[in-house]
């Protein structure tokens, strides 16, 4: 392990959030009440009983690790595993509840590109504004201005307010400023998930350049191939705990295996959240391995457990990186509401065509509130036989979230 | 891509190893003021942004900055003319009132914009670290620009009346500093409270409307003292703006205007206390801004 010296040392880090009944956000009445009651409490010689605390939630629990200078470390974990909380603490946006972190060197975080961009200001003005927000001095920004502009490719629109930019230009400009920060430690969250494919490549290239320069990088992403390509080591967070840390490839494998196992956990309806008046007993894809171009079908058996009114069924299709591709919600349909009672429901998806890969279905029953939430209702795979779609180019299934039905017609123009 | 593995031996595990920065629970950052200084450019650029953005896509543009105080001035001239009011300080009514309106408007603007500043920049707060004090402070700086414009108009008004100020006008920068102390102190308190309790959005217009009548803007504090007596006047001086306004009148009007009587020291102490209290309260709550905003 190349450990020159430690850049980040995290020990016993925990972060607690109070859910719901947070005293601090309950409103002004409590401030007045607490202030008026303070002397009484003081006379009684005690702190008094604290306001009834709501449920608490540990976003991070006793996380410890060390990162050496010059290391590039990926952080993976499902949504809600504590990745974002860890980054927020590292970037000093929020404080930990327990534990501490030691940091050597200047740290800069990119939790979102374009933070503080003002739509009314011009591209040039926003470069300076955003640079200052990210911690650059005006002199630093000025010395890199040409590079930033060239990287973003917005030379012609520098003096146009950014509200007139296309969303692509906007993101490119924002990333360009961020990419030219030069801190010793860089914390990056999902910035690669923006822009078109070409720009993403450029971003990856820039990240490689940064990491090659011996800088320490912490990289959070759902894009596992990008993590695999960039990172020396990886950290796997699960429910706020540090599940594993080590060489990237085995950690990523373990994360993928766990995702498959997690499906088992919520198979029992009683363990799921929601009011429970109805529960999805089973959800099965009509075929666990679908050819690439065929309607997808799902069959749900729903059982009634208590009196309730009509409700809706909603299936969310997620890819291997947990991105939601589409949602099949009966609410979107005319007369889509399901009548109460035991029943079997079939849903068919004709378009879009999903690219080859493994998918997960997250299922909900809802009517205003959540009745049943089954995060891993079923898995299915779309086979790699893209040729049936008319695609012959092997890279076709990497171009975008879904595959398209498109045709070609050419007519020679008259001279 | 990795650093050369042979470059350095693995470091000894040493808990006392010096780090540049510690992040810990409840640990008020030791380098807060140093950071504040380091981020001074952000302060300037945020103030500049707010000024630059304000009149974009407004046809009249910067003229709006002049129109508001000008309109106020004409109203005052009109009231003075209609009512035949003449102040006790030996100066035209419009000048007596305008010299008090200057610091009051600055205070009111500062308070209003500061209170909205953190909530208005919520996306920055939840994405990037910097000393949060910069945001309300920069909105006070913006209010200072309006203030400067109003000072210009006061100059015009004085020229119109051919009312020449004395040497005391030299104290104006110092008094402006005092106005900043009061506005920043109150602003920080209100800002931190607004983040937690949005109720303050409704309380502030109330404070500002009533504050103007409670402060010696349309009348002088000498008139108040005459009516209520010294003891009650001391209570009246709990309003931090009393010393600021009296100071401005003393500098602009010269002559009989008084400043720094024992009672105004109460007001001065309140203003300074407000600043330190405001900073302390703001720093105590700013750590949790990102969680509760």
Cβ of A133 within 8 Å of Cβ of B129? The answer is no
Query: How many Å apart are CA A46 and CA B141, to the nearest integer?
Result: 43
Query: How many Å apart are CA B261 and CA B247, to the nearest integer?
Result: 11
Give the model confidence (pLDDT) of A355-399 as tens digits. Answer: 877 888 999 999 888 899 888 788 888 876 665 566 666 566 666
Cβ of B197 within 8 Å of Cβ of A31? The answer is yes
Q: Is residue A355 within 8 Å of A317, Cβ to Cβ?
A: no
* pLDDT number for residue A208: 74
* pLDDT number for residue A4: 52
Query: How many Å apart are CA A400 and CA A171, to the nearest integer?
Result: 18
Mutate to test the interface with B, among A93, A134, A178 (most CBs of B within 10 A): A93
pLDDT(A326) > 50: yes
Does the N-terminal peptide bond of residue B65 adopt cis geometry, omega within 30 degrees of 0? no
Mutate to test the interface with B, among A91, A98, A102, A109 (most CBs of B within 10 A): A102
Q: How many Cβ contacts (< 8 angstroms) between chains A and B? A: 143
Query: How many Å apart are CA B290 and CA B293, to the nearest integer?
Result: 6
Give the model confidence (pLDDT) of B56-110 as tens digits. Answer: 767 776 788 788 888 887 887 788 778 766 655 567 888 888 889 899 999 999 9
Query: How many Å apart are CA A41 and CA A51, to the nearest integer?
Result: 13
Give the model confidence (pLDDT) of B8-29 as tens digits. Answer: 444 444 444 577 778 877 655 6
pLDDT(B209) > 80: yes
Q: What does chain B come to in residues? A: 293
Give the model confidence (pLDDT) of A185-219 as tens digits. Answer: 888 876 555 555 566 667 777 777 777 777 888 88
Give the model confidence (pLDDT) of A4-37 as tens digits. Answer: 588 899 999 999 887 654 444 455 566 666 666 6
Q: Is residue B222 within 8 Å of B258, Cβ to Cβ?
A: yes
Measured from the Cβ of residue B282, the count of other Cβ atoms closer than 10 Å reads 25
How would residue B177 be classed by pLDDT, with cut points 50, 70 and 90? very high
- Residue A138: list chain B partners with CB under 8 A: 41, 45
Give the model confidence (pLDDT) of A245-301 as tens digits. Answer: 999 989 988 888 877 665 555 667 777 788 889 999 888 888 777 777 778 889 999
Measured from the Cβ of residue B146, the count of other Cβ atoms closer than 10 Å reads 21
Q: Is residue B243 within 8 Å of B268, Cβ to Cβ?
A: yes
* pLDDT number for residue B8: 41
Which strand (E) or helix (H) includes residue A187?
strand A185-189
Cβ of B23 within 8 Å of Cβ of A101? The answer is yes
ipTM confidence score: 0.78
pLDDT greater at residue A46 or residue B277 = B277
Q: What DSSP letter does each residue of A67-117 carry, written as one string?
A: EETT-EEEEE--TTSSHHHHHHHHTTSS--SEEEEEE-S-EEEESSTTTT-
Query: How many Å apart are CA B59 and CA A226, to the nearest integer?
Result: 49
Q: Is residue A245 within 8 Å of A233, Cβ to Cβ?
A: yes
Query: How many Å apart are CA A7 and CA A11, to the nearest integer?
Result: 13
* pLDDT number for residue A42: 60
Q: Is residue A369 within 8 Å of A332, Cβ to Cβ?
A: no
């Amino acid at each position: 392990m190349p450990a020159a010296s430690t850049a980040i040392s995290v020990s016993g880090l925990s972060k607690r959030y109070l859910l719901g009944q947070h005293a601090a956000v309950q409103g002004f009445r409590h401030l007045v009440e607490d202030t008026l009651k303070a002397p009484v409490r003081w006379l009684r010689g005690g702190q008094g009983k604290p306001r009834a605390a709501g449920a608490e939630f540990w976003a991070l629990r006793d996380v410890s690790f060390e990162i050496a200078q010059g290391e590039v470390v990926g952080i993976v974990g499902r949504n809600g595993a504590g990745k974002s909380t860890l980054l927020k603490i590292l970037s000093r946006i929020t404080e930990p509840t327990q534990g501490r972190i030691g940091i050597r060197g200047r740290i800069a975080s990119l939790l979102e590109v374009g933070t503080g961009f003002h739509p009314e200001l011009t591209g040039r003005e926003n470069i300076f504004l955003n640079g200052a927000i990210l911690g650059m001095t005006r002199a630093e920004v000025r010395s890199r201005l040409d590079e930033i502009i060239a990287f973003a490719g917005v030379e012609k629109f520098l003096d146009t307010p950014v509200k007139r930019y296309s969303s692509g230009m906007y993101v490119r400009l924002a990333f360009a400023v961020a990419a030219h920060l030069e801190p010793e430690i860089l914390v990056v969250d999902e910035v690669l998930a923006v822009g078109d494919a070409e720009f993403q490549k450029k971003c990856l290239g820039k990240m490689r350049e940064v990491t090659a320069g011996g800088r320490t990088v912490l990289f959070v992403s759902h894009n596992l191939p990008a993590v695999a390509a960039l990172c020396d080591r990886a950290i796997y967070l699960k429910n706020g705990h540090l599940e594993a840390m080590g060489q990237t490839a085995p950690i990523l494998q373990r994360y993928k295996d766990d995702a498959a196992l997690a499906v088992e956990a919520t198979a029992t309806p009683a363990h799921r959240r929601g009011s429970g008046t109805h529960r999805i007993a089973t959800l099965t894809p009509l075929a666990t391995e679908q050819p690439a171009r065929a309607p997808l079908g799902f069959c749900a058996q729903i059982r009634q457990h208590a009196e309730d009114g009509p409700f809706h069924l909603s299936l969310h299709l997620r890819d291997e990186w947990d991105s939601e591709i589409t949602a099949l919600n009966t609410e979107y349909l005319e007369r889509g509401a399901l009548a109460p009672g035991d029943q079997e429901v079939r849903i068919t998806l004709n378009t879009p065509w999903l690219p080859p890969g493994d998918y997960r279905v997250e299922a909900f029953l809802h009517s205003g509130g959540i009745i049943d939430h089954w995060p891993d209702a079923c898995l299915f795979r779309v086979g790699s036989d893209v040729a049936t779609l008319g695609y012959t180019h092997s890279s076709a299934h990497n171009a975008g979230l879904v595959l398209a039905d498109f045709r070609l017609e050419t007519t020679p123009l008259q001279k | 891509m990795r650093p050369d593995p042979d470059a350095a031996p693995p470091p000894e595990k040493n808990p006392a190893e010096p780090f540049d920065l510690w992040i810990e629970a409840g640990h008020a950052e030791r380098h807060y003021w140093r950071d504040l200084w380091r981020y001074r450019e952000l302060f300037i650029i945020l103030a500049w942004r707010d000024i630059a953005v304000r009149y974009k896509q407004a046809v009249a543009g910067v003229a709006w900055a002049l129109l508001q105080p000008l309109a106020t001035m004409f109203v005052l001239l009109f009231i003075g003319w209609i009512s035949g009011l003449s102040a006790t300080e030996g100066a035209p009514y419009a000048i007596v009132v305008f010299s008090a309106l200057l610091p009051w408007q600055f205070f009111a603007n500062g308070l209003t914009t500061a209170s909205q500043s953190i909530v208005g920049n919520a996306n920055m707060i939840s994405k990037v670290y910097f000393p949060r004090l910069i945001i309300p402070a920069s909105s006070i700086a913006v209010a200072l620009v309006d203030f400067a414009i109003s000072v210009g108009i006061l100059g015009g008004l004085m020229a119109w009346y051919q009312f020449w100020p004395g040497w005391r006008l030299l104290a104006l920068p110092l008094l402006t500093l005092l106005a900043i102390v009061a506005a920043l102190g109150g602003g920080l308190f209100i800002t931190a409270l607004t983040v937690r309790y949005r109720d303050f959005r409704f309380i502030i217009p109330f404070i500002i409307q009533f504050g103007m009548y409670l402060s010696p803007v349309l009348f002088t504090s000498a008139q108040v003292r005459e009516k209520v007596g010294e003891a009650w006047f001391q209570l009246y001086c709990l309003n931090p703006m009393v010393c600021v306004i009296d100071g401005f009148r003393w500098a602009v009007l010269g002559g009989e205007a008084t400043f720094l009587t024992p009672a105004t020291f109460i007001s001065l102490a309140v203003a300074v206390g407000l600043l330190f209290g405001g900073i302390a309260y703001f720093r105590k709550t700013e750590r949790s801004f990102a969680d509760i905003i």
